[in-house]
């Protein structure tokens, strides 16, 4: 039985690798004739690098002689927020032909890209799952559901209600900081927003927002594996 459990876990890993391989292949094929390559790694780098640098600069700004450096932290965190919203716009502009096709025939576009790819992968691994015993499949589905539920509860403890309100609080905090910085630079006031709750809210909200986005991808993969396992169990019963 332990060998079958290892096989089940190995199948799960193979499905995830197949998904990543297909996505990377499609991106490379679509990017061969394009100068600008919009990769997920570049997106994470453009968003997270200025964010962490802004926090480090803000901490350095606590030192009295270097307090002016803290002003730049608002600029850096603004770059992170800008990259977060600029990336989808750039992708739409770069893949405008695909966007037109999706707008013209939404379901056909989704079926041709996402659903078709998932169907091919599921069709490849479903017979392998069916070859496992019903006990192993039931145990695998149970453990995946338990792990998913626990992961979701831990995520909710960290993010709270952020999944419902999104990034709006961070945008408001960022706007307040940039307005105060603008008034300071043009002699219309004094910059009083040092390392306080406003900057903390802007930084933490962005970080938790990215964490939620990553967690949703993990939960989606678990949901798919659970559904595929349950389908294999139904096929064995039939």
**pLDDT per position as a tens digit, 179-206:** 877 777 776 655 554 557 788 889 999 9
Name the one residue in this structure whose structure tokens are 């509860």: 153
pLDDT at 94: 66
Give 10-residue mean pLDDT values along the chain (238 residues).
83 87 65 53 87 88 70 89 85 62 51 68 88 91 92 85 81 85 69 67 90 88 92 86
pLDDT at 33: 47
**pLDDT per position as a tens digit, 87-127:** 877 777 666 655 555 555 444 444 455 677 778 888 889 99
Q: What's the pTM? A: 0.77
How many domains are there within the chain? 1
Query: CB under 8 Å to 171, separation ≥6 — which residues?
Result: 81
pLDDT at 31: 54
Coil, helix or strand at residue 161: coil
* Structural domain boundaries enclosing 99: 2-237
Name the one residue in this structure whose structure tokens are 């905090």: 173
Q: 141 phi and psi, to 5 degrees?
A: -65, -40
Instruction: Tell me how far CA of residue 129 lies from CA of 8, 15, 125, 134, 137, in angstroms.
Output: 7, 11, 6, 10, 8
b/e burial code for range 4-31 (CB count within 10 A of at least 16 → b): beebbeebbeebeebeeeeeeeeeeeee
Beta-carbon count within 10 A of 116 CB? 11
Q: 35 phi and psi, to 5 degrees?
A: -80, -45
């Amino acid at each position: 039985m332990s060998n079958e459990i290892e096989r089940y876990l190995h199948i799960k890993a193979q499905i995830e690798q197949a998904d990543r391989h297909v996505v990377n292949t499609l991106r490379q094929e679509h990017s061969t004739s394009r100068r600008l390559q919009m990769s997920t790694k570049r997106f994470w780098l453009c968003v997270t690098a200025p964010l962490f640098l802004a926090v480090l600069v803000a901490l350095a700004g606590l030192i009295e002689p270097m307090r002016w450096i803290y002003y730049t932290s608002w600029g850096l965190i603004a770059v992170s927020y800008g990259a977060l919203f600029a990336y989808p716009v750039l992708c739409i502009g770069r893949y405008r032909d695909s966007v037109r096709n999706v707008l013209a025939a939404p379901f056909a576009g989704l079926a041709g890209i996402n659903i078709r790819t998932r169907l091919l992968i599921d069709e490849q691994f479903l017979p392998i799952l069916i070859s496992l015993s019903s006990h192993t499949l039931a145990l695998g589905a149970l453990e995946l559901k338990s792990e998913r539920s626990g992961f979701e509860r831990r995520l909710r403890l960290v993010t709270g209600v952020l999944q419902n309100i999104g990034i709006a609080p961070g945008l408001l905090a960022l706007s307040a900081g940039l307005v105060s910085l603008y008034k300071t630079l043009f002699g219309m006031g004094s910059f009083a927003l040092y390392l306080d709750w406003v900057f903390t809210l802007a930084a933490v909200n962005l970080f938790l927002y990215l964490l939620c986005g990553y967690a949703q991808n993990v939960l989606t993969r678990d949901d798919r594996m659970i559904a595929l396992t349950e389908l294999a169990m139904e096929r064995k019963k039939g």
